[in-house]
Chains A and B, each alone.
Chain A
Protein backbone atom coordinates (compact mmCIF):
# COMPACT_ATOMS: atom_id res chain seq x y z
CA UNK A 1 0.00 0.00 0.00
CA UNK A 2 2.67 2.46 1.03
CA UNK A 3 4.73 1.40 -1.95
CA UNK A 4 1.97 2.28 -4.39
CA UNK A 5 1.44 5.65 -2.77
CA UNK A 6 5.11 6.48 -2.89
CA UNK A 7 5.43 5.35 -6.48
CA UNK A 8 2.43 7.37 -7.50
CA UNK A 9 3.75 10.46 -5.77
CA UNK A 10 7.17 10.13 -7.34
CA UNK A 11 5.74 9.69 -10.80
CA UNK A 12 3.39 12.60 -10.27
CA UNK A 13 6.16 14.88 -9.18
CA UNK A 14 8.28 14.05 -12.17
CA UNK A 15 5.34 14.72 -14.44
CA UNK A 16 4.49 17.90 -12.57
CA UNK A 17 8.00 19.20 -12.95
CA UNK A 18 7.99 18.44 -16.66
CA UNK A 19 4.68 20.19 -17.18
CA UNK A 20 5.74 23.21 -15.18
CA UNK A 21 8.96 23.52 -17.10
CA UNK A 22 7.10 23.57 -20.40
CA UNK A 23 4.34 25.77 -19.10
CA UNK A 24 6.81 28.40 -18.12
CA UNK A 25 8.01 28.83 -21.65
CA UNK A 26 4.56 29.58 -22.96
CA UNK A 27 2.71 32.84 -23.00
CA UNK A 28 1.76 34.55 -19.80
CA UNK A 29 -1.90 35.07 -20.52
CA UNK A 30 -4.25 37.11 -18.42
CA UNK A 31 -2.37 38.58 -15.54
CA UNK A 32 -1.76 41.75 -13.58
CA UNK A 33 0.26 44.67 -14.87
CA UNK A 34 3.73 44.61 -13.33
CA UNK A 35 5.13 47.98 -12.34
CA UNK A 36 8.63 47.67 -10.86
CA UNK A 37 11.39 50.04 -9.85
CA UNK A 38 12.11 53.13 -7.81
CA UNK A 39 11.33 52.96 -4.12
CA UNK A 40 10.72 56.72 -4.28
CA UNK A 41 7.93 56.33 -6.79
CA UNK A 42 6.60 53.08 -5.32
CA UNK A 43 4.22 54.50 -2.66
CA UNK A 44 2.75 56.96 -5.16
CA UNK A 45 2.40 54.26 -7.79
CA UNK A 46 0.60 52.14 -5.20
CA UNK A 47 -1.93 54.88 -4.60
CA UNK A 48 -2.35 55.40 -8.33
CA UNK A 49 -2.83 51.67 -8.81
CA UNK A 50 -5.53 51.52 -6.17
CA UNK A 51 -7.41 54.45 -7.73
CA UNK A 52 -7.00 52.95 -11.18
CA UNK A 53 -8.37 49.61 -10.03
CA UNK A 54 -11.36 51.30 -8.42
CA UNK A 55 -12.18 53.04 -11.66
CA UNK A 56 -11.49 50.02 -13.88
CA UNK A 57 -12.86 46.91 -12.21
CA UNK A 58 -11.14 43.79 -13.44
CA UNK A 59 -7.86 45.51 -14.15
CA UNK A 60 -5.04 44.74 -11.79
CA UNK A 61 -1.76 46.53 -11.21
CA UNK A 62 1.09 45.11 -9.12
CA UNK A 63 3.63 47.60 -7.81
CA UNK A 64 7.00 46.46 -6.54
CA UNK A 65 10.19 48.22 -5.47
CA UNK A 66 13.83 47.30 -5.99
CA UNK A 67 15.30 50.61 -7.15
CA UNK A 68 15.28 52.59 -10.39
CA UNK A 69 17.94 50.61 -12.20
CA UNK A 70 16.33 47.36 -11.06
CA UNK A 71 13.12 48.64 -12.64
CA UNK A 72 14.89 49.26 -15.94
CA UNK A 73 16.47 45.81 -15.73
CA UNK A 74 13.08 44.25 -15.07
CA UNK A 75 11.61 45.93 -18.14
CA UNK A 76 14.58 44.85 -20.26
CA UNK A 77 14.26 41.26 -19.01
CA UNK A 78 10.52 41.17 -19.54
CA UNK A 79 9.85 40.80 -15.81
CA UNK A 80 7.86 44.03 -15.70
CA UNK A 81 5.57 45.93 -18.03
CA UNK A 82 6.38 49.37 -16.69
CA UNK A 83 9.56 50.49 -14.94
CA UNK A 84 9.62 53.30 -12.40
CA UNK A 85 12.71 55.46 -12.59
CA UNK A 86 13.44 58.42 -10.32
CA UNK A 87 16.32 59.89 -12.31
CA UNK A 88 16.96 61.02 -15.85
CA UNK A 89 17.83 58.20 -18.23
CA UNK A 90 21.40 57.83 -19.37
CA UNK A 91 22.38 58.05 -23.04
CA UNK A 92 22.31 54.31 -23.78
CA UNK A 93 19.08 53.94 -21.82
CA UNK A 94 17.31 56.60 -23.84
CA UNK A 95 17.87 54.61 -27.03
CA UNK A 96 16.76 51.40 -25.34
CA UNK A 97 13.58 52.51 -23.54
CA UNK A 98 10.61 54.84 -24.00
CA UNK A 99 9.97 57.20 -21.14
CA UNK A 100 7.14 59.35 -19.86
CA UNK A 101 7.57 61.97 -17.14
CA UNK A 102 4.73 61.57 -14.64
CA UNK A 103 5.80 64.05 -11.97
CA UNK A 104 8.73 65.89 -10.46
CA UNK A 105 10.00 65.34 -6.96
CA UNK A 106 12.54 67.01 -4.73
CA UNK A 107 15.35 65.28 -2.91
CA UNK A 108 15.28 66.22 0.74
CA UNK A 109 18.35 66.22 2.95
CA UNK A 110 17.06 64.88 6.22
CA UNK A 111 18.34 64.83 9.78
CA UNK A 112 16.94 63.62 13.06
CA UNK A 113 14.24 65.80 14.59
CA UNK A 114 16.42 66.57 17.60
CA UNK A 115 19.27 67.84 15.46
CA UNK A 116 19.62 71.65 15.89
CA UNK A 117 20.95 72.01 12.33
CA UNK A 118 18.30 73.53 10.06
CA UNK A 119 20.11 74.83 7.02
CA UNK A 120 23.18 73.94 5.02
CA UNK A 121 24.76 74.82 1.71
CA UNK A 122 25.16 72.42 -1.17
CA UNK A 123 28.94 72.60 -0.76
CA UNK A 124 28.72 71.59 2.88
CA UNK A 125 26.57 68.59 2.00
CA UNK A 126 29.05 67.53 -0.63
CA UNK A 127 31.88 67.78 1.86
CA UNK A 128 29.94 65.73 4.39
CA UNK A 129 29.16 62.91 2.00
CA UNK A 130 32.68 62.95 0.58
CA UNK A 131 33.91 62.33 4.09
CA UNK A 132 35.80 65.59 4.48
CA UNK A 133 33.58 67.17 7.14
CA UNK A 134 33.15 64.68 9.95
CA UNK A 135 31.87 66.62 12.94
CA UNK A 136 28.71 68.66 13.37
CA UNK A 137 30.63 71.39 15.17
CA UNK A 138 32.45 72.24 11.92
CA UNK A 139 29.20 73.75 10.75
CA UNK A 140 28.17 75.34 13.99
CA UNK A 141 26.14 72.49 15.38
CA UNK A 142 26.37 70.39 18.53
CA UNK A 143 29.76 68.63 18.63
CA UNK A 144 29.55 65.00 17.63
CA UNK A 145 30.35 62.72 14.71
CA UNK A 146 28.32 63.00 11.53
CA UNK A 147 26.91 59.75 10.18
CA UNK A 148 25.96 60.13 6.52
CA UNK A 149 23.67 57.53 4.97
CA UNK A 150 23.51 56.77 1.28
CA UNK A 151 21.43 54.55 -0.96
CA UNK A 152 22.57 51.56 -2.96
CA UNK A 153 24.14 52.15 -6.38
CA UNK A 154 21.08 51.18 -8.37
CA UNK A 155 18.96 53.83 -6.68
CA UNK A 156 17.62 56.62 -8.83
CA UNK A 157 17.61 58.88 -5.80
CA UNK A 158 21.30 58.20 -5.31
CA UNK A 159 22.10 58.79 -8.97
CA UNK A 160 20.24 62.08 -8.91
CA UNK A 161 21.91 63.06 -5.64
CA UNK A 162 25.34 62.30 -7.03
CA UNK A 163 24.56 64.22 -10.18
CA UNK A 164 23.13 67.26 -8.40
CA UNK A 165 25.28 67.46 -5.27
CA UNK A 166 28.48 65.47 -5.59
CA UNK A 167 29.43 66.37 -9.11
CA UNK A 168 32.85 64.92 -9.77
CA UNK A 169 33.36 63.95 -6.11
CA UNK A 170 32.71 60.39 -4.97
CA UNK A 171 30.65 59.46 -1.95
CA UNK A 172 32.98 58.25 0.79
CA UNK A 173 33.31 54.49 1.23
CA UNK A 174 32.79 54.88 4.96
CA UNK A 175 29.18 55.90 4.52
CA UNK A 176 26.39 53.56 5.65
CA UNK A 177 24.21 52.10 2.92
CA UNK A 178 20.49 51.41 3.06
CA UNK A 179 18.39 49.96 0.27
CA UNK A 180 15.23 52.07 0.19
CA UNK A 181 13.78 55.45 1.14
CA UNK A 182 11.93 53.85 4.00
CA UNK A 183 15.07 52.28 5.39
CA UNK A 184 16.90 55.63 5.25
CA UNK A 185 13.98 57.28 7.02
CA UNK A 186 13.94 54.67 9.77
CA UNK A 187 17.65 54.97 10.35
CA UNK A 188 17.65 58.76 10.52
CA UNK A 189 14.65 58.60 12.86
CA UNK A 190 16.65 56.50 15.28
CA UNK A 191 20.08 58.10 15.08
CA UNK A 192 20.53 61.70 16.24
CA UNK A 193 23.81 62.08 14.40
CA UNK A 194 22.58 60.76 11.07
CA UNK A 195 22.11 62.68 7.84
CA UNK A 196 20.63 61.20 4.70
CA UNK A 197 18.87 62.02 1.46
CA UNK A 198 15.49 60.78 0.36
CA UNK A 199 12.42 61.58 -1.72
CA UNK A 200 10.90 64.89 -0.61
CA UNK A 201 7.40 63.54 -0.99
CA UNK A 202 8.06 60.81 1.57
CA UNK A 203 9.66 62.78 4.40
CA UNK A 204 6.58 63.29 6.50
CA UNK A 205 6.51 64.73 10.01
CA UNK A 206 9.01 62.49 11.69
CA UNK A 207 12.16 63.94 10.22
CA UNK A 208 13.64 67.35 9.71
CA UNK A 209 14.34 68.38 6.11
CA UNK A 210 17.12 70.93 5.75
CA UNK A 211 16.95 74.27 4.00
CA UNK A 212 19.48 74.13 1.18
CA UNK A 213 21.16 77.26 -0.12
CA UNK A 214 18.43 79.32 1.50
CA UNK A 215 15.63 77.50 -0.26
CA UNK A 216 13.13 75.64 1.87
CA UNK A 217 12.35 72.07 0.83
CA UNK A 218 8.77 72.47 -0.38
CA UNK A 219 7.07 71.38 -3.57
CA UNK A 220 6.38 75.05 -4.41
CA UNK A 221 10.08 75.76 -4.37
CA UNK A 222 10.74 72.69 -6.45
CA UNK A 223 8.24 73.92 -9.00
CA UNK A 224 9.71 77.41 -8.92
CA UNK A 225 13.19 76.04 -9.27
CA UNK A 226 14.59 77.75 -6.19
CA UNK A 227 15.02 74.41 -4.45
CA UNK A 228 17.48 72.96 -6.92
CA UNK A 229 17.52 69.34 -5.76
CA UNK A 230 14.81 67.94 -7.98
CA UNK A 231 14.50 65.04 -10.36
CA UNK A 232 11.87 63.62 -12.69
CA UNK A 233 9.70 60.62 -11.95
CA UNK A 234 9.60 58.47 -15.07
CA UNK A 235 7.50 55.57 -16.27
CA UNK A 236 9.60 53.54 -18.64
CA UNK A 237 8.60 50.87 -21.14
CA UNK A 238 10.39 48.65 -23.60
CA UNK A 239 9.57 50.36 -26.85
CA UNK A 240 5.94 51.25 -27.22
CA UNK A 241 3.81 50.43 -24.19
CA UNK A 242 1.42 47.51 -24.47
CA UNK A 243 -2.28 48.51 -24.42
CA UNK A 244 -2.78 47.61 -20.75
CA UNK A 245 0.30 49.52 -19.71
CA UNK A 246 -0.65 52.48 -21.89
CA UNK A 247 -4.07 52.63 -20.25
CA UNK A 248 -2.48 52.87 -16.83
CA UNK A 249 0.01 55.50 -17.95
CA UNK A 250 -2.84 57.51 -19.47
CA UNK A 251 -4.62 57.40 -16.13
CA UNK A 252 -1.52 58.60 -14.31
CA UNK A 253 -1.21 61.54 -16.71
CA UNK A 254 -4.89 62.37 -16.50
CA UNK A 255 -6.23 65.10 -14.27
CA UNK A 256 -7.31 62.54 -11.67
CA UNK A 257 -3.89 60.96 -11.53
CA UNK A 258 -2.01 64.25 -11.46
CA UNK A 259 -4.27 65.69 -8.77
CA UNK A 260 -3.60 62.67 -6.61
CA UNK A 261 0.15 63.07 -6.99
CA UNK A 262 -0.06 66.78 -6.24
CA UNK A 263 -2.02 66.11 -3.06
CA UNK A 264 0.65 63.71 -1.94
CA UNK A 265 3.40 66.31 -2.26
CA UNK A 266 4.77 65.86 -5.76
CA UNK A 267 4.96 68.43 -8.54
CA UNK A 268 2.55 67.66 -11.36
CA UNK A 269 3.60 67.83 -14.96
CA UNK A 270 0.22 67.98 -16.71
Chain B
Protein backbone atom coordinates (compact mmCIF):
# COMPACT_ATOMS: atom_id res chain seq x y z
CA UNK B 1 0.00 0.00 0.00
CA UNK B 2 2.83 2.39 0.84
CA UNK B 3 5.06 1.52 -2.12
CA UNK B 4 5.67 4.55 -4.28
CA UNK B 5 5.48 4.78 -8.05
CA UNK B 6 7.66 7.15 -10.00
CA UNK B 7 5.60 9.38 -12.27
CA UNK B 8 6.02 12.56 -14.23
CA UNK B 9 3.37 15.25 -14.07
CA UNK B 10 3.27 18.13 -16.53
CA UNK B 11 1.94 21.17 -14.71
CA UNK B 12 1.72 24.60 -16.30
CA UNK B 13 4.07 23.36 -18.99
CA UNK B 14 6.73 22.22 -16.55
CA UNK B 15 7.75 18.61 -15.77
CA UNK B 16 7.67 17.34 -12.21
CA UNK B 17 9.32 13.97 -11.57
CA UNK B 18 7.76 12.69 -8.37
CA UNK B 19 7.18 9.42 -6.55
CA UNK B 20 3.73 8.82 -5.09
CA UNK B 21 1.70 6.07 -3.53
CA UNK B 22 -0.96 4.91 -5.97
CA UNK B 23 -3.62 6.17 -3.56
CA UNK B 24 -2.27 9.73 -3.51
CA UNK B 25 -4.80 12.08 -5.02
CA UNK B 26 -3.82 14.68 -7.57
CA UNK B 27 -4.54 17.57 -5.22
CA UNK B 28 -2.11 16.24 -2.62
CA UNK B 29 0.49 15.46 -5.29
CA UNK B 30 0.28 19.00 -6.67
CA UNK B 31 0.47 20.54 -3.22
CA UNK B 32 2.90 18.29 -1.40
CA UNK B 33 5.05 16.79 -4.14
CA UNK B 34 5.13 19.62 -6.68
CA UNK B 35 4.94 22.43 -4.10
CA UNK B 36 2.02 24.08 -5.88
CA UNK B 37 -0.14 24.97 -2.90
CA UNK B 38 -2.41 27.31 -4.85
CA UNK B 39 -4.75 24.39 -5.46
CA UNK B 40 -6.78 24.15 -2.27
CA UNK B 41 -8.44 21.19 -0.62
CA UNK B 42 -11.83 22.07 0.82
CA UNK B 43 -13.80 18.85 1.18
CA UNK B 44 -11.93 15.89 -0.32
CA UNK B 45 -15.19 14.46 -1.56
CA UNK B 46 -15.72 16.28 -4.79
CA UNK B 47 -18.41 18.76 -3.82
CA UNK B 48 -16.79 22.11 -3.06
CA UNK B 49 -14.57 22.42 -6.12
CA UNK B 50 -11.81 24.37 -4.34
CA UNK B 51 -9.30 21.92 -5.84
CA UNK B 52 -10.48 22.40 -9.43
CA UNK B 53 -7.63 22.26 -11.97
CA UNK B 54 -7.61 21.86 -15.73
CA UNK B 55 -6.59 18.47 -17.05
CA UNK B 56 -6.20 18.50 -20.83
CA UNK B 57 -8.26 21.68 -20.81
CA UNK B 58 -11.18 20.33 -18.81
CA UNK B 59 -12.04 21.33 -15.22
CA UNK B 60 -11.40 18.40 -12.89
CA UNK B 61 -11.72 17.94 -9.12
CA UNK B 62 -8.12 17.20 -8.18
CA UNK B 63 -9.31 15.47 -5.00
CA UNK B 64 -11.20 12.88 -7.03
CA UNK B 65 -8.37 11.95 -9.36
CA UNK B 66 -5.32 9.91 -8.45
CA UNK B 67 -2.00 11.46 -9.31
CA UNK B 68 -1.05 8.34 -11.28
CA UNK B 69 -4.09 8.92 -13.50
CA UNK B 70 -2.71 12.30 -14.51
CA UNK B 71 0.41 10.90 -16.14
CA UNK B 72 0.87 12.17 -19.66
CA UNK B 73 -1.81 14.82 -19.33
CA UNK B 74 -1.45 18.58 -19.42
CA UNK B 75 -2.36 19.96 -16.00
CA UNK B 76 -3.00 23.63 -15.38
CA UNK B 77 -3.28 25.23 -11.95
CA UNK B 78 -3.85 28.75 -10.67
CA UNK B 79 -0.09 29.31 -10.55
CA UNK B 80 -0.08 29.17 -14.35
CA UNK B 81 -2.77 31.76 -15.01
CA UNK B 82 -0.78 34.98 -14.77
CA UNK B 83 1.95 35.58 -17.32
CA UNK B 84 5.24 37.41 -17.28
CA UNK B 85 4.53 40.77 -18.89
CA UNK B 86 6.69 43.70 -19.85
CA UNK B 87 6.26 45.38 -16.48
CA UNK B 88 6.22 42.32 -14.27
CA UNK B 89 3.47 39.84 -13.59
CA UNK B 90 0.44 40.27 -15.83
CA UNK B 91 -2.76 38.92 -14.38
CA UNK B 92 -5.12 36.78 -16.42
CA UNK B 93 -8.35 38.65 -17.31
CA UNK B 94 -10.20 36.45 -14.82
CA UNK B 95 -7.79 37.32 -12.02
CA UNK B 96 -8.00 40.99 -12.89
CA UNK B 97 -11.81 40.88 -12.99
CA UNK B 98 -12.04 39.06 -9.64
CA UNK B 99 -9.87 41.82 -8.19
CA UNK B 100 -11.86 44.69 -9.75
CA UNK B 101 -15.24 43.23 -8.82
CA UNK B 102 -14.40 42.04 -5.30
CA UNK B 103 -14.96 38.46 -6.36
CA UNK B 104 -13.09 37.10 -3.38
CA UNK B 105 -13.01 37.60 0.35
CA UNK B 106 -11.02 34.91 2.16
CA UNK B 107 -9.67 33.70 -1.19
CA UNK B 108 -9.72 30.01 -0.35
CA UNK B 109 -12.23 28.98 -3.02
CA UNK B 110 -10.82 31.47 -5.54
CA UNK B 111 -8.27 29.24 -7.35
CA UNK B 112 -11.00 26.66 -7.93
CA UNK B 113 -13.41 29.24 -9.34
CA UNK B 114 -10.69 30.77 -11.52
CA UNK B 115 -9.75 27.42 -13.04
CA UNK B 116 -13.37 26.39 -13.49
CA UNK B 117 -14.18 29.63 -15.29
CA UNK B 118 -10.97 29.54 -17.33
CA UNK B 119 -11.75 26.03 -18.56
CA UNK B 120 -15.33 26.89 -19.44
CA UNK B 121 -14.57 30.19 -21.18
CA UNK B 122 -11.77 28.68 -23.24
CA UNK B 123 -14.09 25.91 -24.41
CA UNK B 124 -17.11 28.15 -24.97
CA UNK B 125 -16.35 31.88 -25.13
CA UNK B 126 -19.98 32.62 -26.03
CA UNK B 127 -21.53 30.80 -23.09
CA UNK B 128 -24.74 32.52 -21.94
CA UNK B 129 -24.99 34.18 -18.54
CA UNK B 130 -27.52 31.62 -17.46
CA UNK B 131 -25.35 28.69 -18.49
CA UNK B 132 -22.35 30.28 -16.81
CA UNK B 133 -24.23 30.69 -13.52
CA UNK B 134 -25.19 27.05 -13.78
CA UNK B 135 -21.56 26.03 -14.36
CA UNK B 136 -20.37 28.21 -11.48
CA UNK B 137 -22.80 26.38 -9.22
CA UNK B 138 -20.33 23.47 -9.41
CA UNK B 139 -18.19 25.18 -6.77
CA UNK B 140 -18.89 26.45 -3.28
CA UNK B 141 -18.01 29.84 -1.83
CA UNK B 142 -18.97 30.74 1.71
CA UNK B 143 -17.94 34.42 1.76
CA UNK B 144 -19.18 36.29 -1.28
CA UNK B 145 -22.71 35.06 -1.86
CA UNK B 146 -21.48 34.42 -5.43
CA UNK B 147 -22.74 37.61 -7.00
CA UNK B 148 -19.35 39.25 -7.42
CA UNK B 149 -17.93 35.98 -8.71
CA UNK B 150 -20.66 35.87 -11.36
CA UNK B 151 -20.07 39.56 -12.13
CA UNK B 152 -16.31 39.06 -12.41
CA UNK B 153 -16.59 36.05 -14.71
CA UNK B 154 -18.98 37.97 -16.97
CA UNK B 155 -16.59 40.91 -17.14
CA UNK B 156 -13.64 38.63 -17.85
CA UNK B 157 -15.54 36.80 -20.57
CA UNK B 158 -16.13 40.09 -22.37
CA UNK B 159 -12.49 41.04 -21.92
CA UNK B 160 -11.23 37.69 -23.21
CA UNK B 161 -13.35 38.00 -26.34
CA UNK B 162 -11.81 41.38 -27.10
CA UNK B 163 -8.30 39.93 -26.97
- Determine if chain A interacts with chain B: no
